[in-house]
Amino acid sequence: MISKNLTAASTKPIILGILKQGNSYGYLIIKKIKELSDGKMKYSDGMLYPVLHRLEKDGLIVSHWTVKDDARPRKYYEITEAGKQELIAEQEQWSQVNSVLNAIWGTATK
The 10s digit of each residue's pLDDT in 19-47 is 999 999 999 999 999 999 999 998 888 99
pTM for the model stands at: 0.89
Between the two ends of the chain, the Cα-to-Cα distance in Å is 27
Domain 4-108 has CATH 3.40.605.10: no
24 has which bridge partners? 77
Rounded CA-CA distance 32/19 in Å is 11
Rounded CA-CA distance 33/7 in Å is 10
User: Across the chain, where does the E strand assignment appear?
Assistant: 24-25, 61-66, 74-79
Residue 90 scores a pLDDT above 80: yes
Identify the DSSP state of 73: P
